[in-house]
Amino acid sequence: MTKPDPINPEYYKNSNARCTCGRSIECIDVARNWGFSLGNVLKYLWRHKQKDGLEALKKAQWYLYDYVQAWEKSNDRT
């Protein structure tokens, strides 16, 4: 029996999302290009059903709020 990997569990690798080439698209493929806060928003939304549901959604909400606050304070709103 294979021991579960606590660093890269199976639900990190079981996305139904597919590239037009047929390759599976995983959360990290997108999140790594969105920066820290927005990447975390995506991560928590993407995996909330495999994790702790409402708590993960609240974490996504927190990171989105954090991003909005920083964006509003920034001079570069592009």
- Domain parsing of the chain, residue ranges: 10-73
Given a contact cutoff of 8 angstroms between Cβ atoms, the answer to whether 26 and 13 are in contact is yes
pLDDT score of 77 more than 70: no
Rounded-to-integer distance, Cα 34 and Cα 49, Å: 21
pTM summary value: 0.73
What is the tens place of the pLDDT at every residue in 24-64? 888 888 889 999 999 999 999 998 988 889 999 999 999 99
